[in-house]
Amino acid sequence: MKTALVQFDIAWENKSVNFRKVESLISECRKNIDLIILPEMFNTGFSMNPAELSEKPGSETFVWMRRMACESNAAICGSYIVEDGGTYHNRWTFVSPENEVYFYDKRHLFSPGGEDRLFTKGRERVVFTYKGFRICPNICYDLRFPVWSRNRNDYDLLINSANWPTRRQDVWNILLKARAIENQCYVAGVNRTGIDGSGIKYTGESVILGPGGETIASDTSGNEGIIYGEISQSELSDFRRKFPVLNDGDDFTINS
C-alpha cells in the first residue's frame, strides 16, 4: 500500500486556508497513492475552542474529505472537531474513494492542555480493513498509552495523527518506534510543523516505520511536505512468521 503523510504548518483556526494548503500539497502527490494521512485537527490546529470550530457529523470538513478522496483517488484520513449528540469529540475520520467511512474518537484527552475539560473521550478501540491492511487509528496523546494500542493479532498498521510539540520531540520518536516493535506492525506517525495560536512550536518529524522499528520514510527537516512510503502485507506476514512474538502476548480486557 502506497502511503503519503502530509506534514504542514496548520493555519490557526482557519479551515479554508488549511483546506487550500492540503489541496496544494496533495496536488503534488505522486500518482497511484492509496492512503493520504493528515495530522490531528488538521483544519484548525489544536484549538480548545470547540464551541466555535466544531461541526456536525457529515458537515463541511467531511464533505471536503470525501471530495479530496474522489479527486485524488486515494483514501484520506485525519482528525477534526465534531459535535455529536451534544458533546465535542476529537474525531479521526477516514474516507475512501469508494466511500468507505470509518471514525475513531480520541480516547486519551490531553489533560495538561485542558482537552479533557472540553471534549468527550472515545470509548471504542477501532480496527478496520483497507486494501488488505487492518488499520488501528490513534490520535496524538494516545501514543503514550500502549495498552490501548496493544496488538492482539488484529491489526497491521497503526496510524497516529498528531500535534506533538518540538519540546517533546524525542518522546515522539521513541514512542513511535516502541509501538512498532512491541506490536510487530507498521506505524505511520504524522505531525504538524510551525507555531500554533498558543505559541507552541512543532517540528514535524513524520515517519513510517516497519515492524522491527526500522525507518521506511521520514522527514526531519521541519518543513512542509509529503513523506512517501510503501508497506507490504507479504513482508509483514513473513516478519511475523519468522519471529512470532505476538503469539506470546497476554490476554486482557480494557474497561470503557
Query: Which residue pairs from 247-251 have beta carbons closer than 8 angstroms and sit at least 24 positions apart in sequence?
Result: 247/153, 249/150, 249/151, 249/152, 249/153
Active-site residue, 106 included: yes
DSSP SS3 for 77? strand
Of 21, 40, 77, 136, catalytic: 40
Q: Give the integer Cα–Cα distance in Å for 121 and 71.
A: 32
Q: Which three cell numbers stand for residue 55?
A: 461541526
Of 77, 136, 140, 185, catalytic: 140
Q: Give the integer Cα–Cα distance in Å for 161 and 163.
A: 7
Active-site residue, 40 included: yes
Q: Is the four-CA dihedral 14, 73, 156, 24 of positive or negative sign?
A: negative
Q: Which three cell numbers stand for residue 221?
A: 527537516
Active-site residue, 185 included: no
DSSP SS3 for 112? helix
Of 21, 106, 177, 185, catalytic: 106
Positions marked active-site: 40, 106, 140
